[in-house]
Homo-oligomer: A and B are copies of this chain.
């Protein structure tokens, strides 16, 4: 990646050059020291031009039909004049080698349109690392003129929280399910949702889906809403029924409007950015501590002393921090 000039690249990104955008993202995902310096300059130039999109997080377990929904929604939005970026946060992409959205054939039409930009989940050892790169990719896509960003994630562990912390709205997709299985939803994740779609509401599952919509609505009454002034809508959805894409987007627009009128989107983004900075510091400091040779030389011994109950964890932590700051 040598020879990249940050200002040329950023100018081309701002002009909406897709190849430049792809190169900029590759630069941001690189861990080479030289690339990281260029990436930093690039971000400094482009971040002030970011933010002019609506950011929609979309979550659901594997098989719920996220790709089909995004294919349908993306095409609908482009037909309506939007430019749509589709990104993903997949915490397992490091382990599995693959990643969600990796298989673009699942979004066959969308991936061929020039108004769409689809980027699979970056690899990374930690969810924090994956999220950072996705978030920065989002900023670049915004600077390149994409005015709708869809961030997909799978329903495992912490990734929903992470995605909800980088988007303006969080849409949860669920499968039609019977009563008992309702208990299988993670309450914390449902509480993040600003909107719920019960997918595959067609064919043999049509009736179950309608029943699920009622059940989920009922379940939501026992939960704390994510946004105090917004009653979380639960809708059935079928990819076979084109009208439902329009109806789903209408609900998204209603949320967006009500939040914008109250100035809540800007406020939410400001606090998200601040939290992100402190999270970066929290993780970054531990990384820097671990990487310091003087600390690294002591870690194993202190961990051993702590696990063998010879030393209090607090004392060991203080010692390592004292070494790190050079006391």
B residues within 8 A CB of A262? none
Binary interface profile of A, 251-271, with partner B (CB < 8 Å = 1, else 0)?
000000000000000000111
Q: How far is the CA of A43 from the CA of B182 in the complex (A)?
A: 48
B313 touches A276 (CB 8 A): yes
User: Are B277 and A303 in contact (CB-based, < 8 A)?
Assistant: yes
Is the pair A183, B222 in contact by a Cβ cutoff of 8 Å?
yes
A218 to chain B: which residues have CB within 8 Å? 180
Known contacts A273-B306, A277-B306, A284-B318, A312 near B43 by CB under 8 Å:
yes
Number of copies: 2
Determine whether the beta carbon of B277 is less than 8 Å from that of A316: yes
Q: Are A139 and B312 in contact (CB under 8 A)?
A: yes
Closest to A295 in B: B281
Q: In the bound complex, do residue B47 and residue A321 qualify as a contact, i.e. CB atoms below 8 Å apart?
A: no
Query: Which bracket fits the contact residues of A?
Result: 35 or more
Give the distance to chain B from A140, nearest Cβ to Cβ, in Å.
Answer: 11
What CA separation (Å) do A169 and B94 show in the bound complex?
33
Does A207 count as interface, using CB distance less than 8 angstroms? no
Q: Which of A177-210 contact B (CB under 8 A)?
A: 180-188
Complex contact A219–B281 (CB within 8 A): no
The 4 closest A-B pairs by CB, nearest first: A280-B317, A270-B307, A277-B313, A276-B313
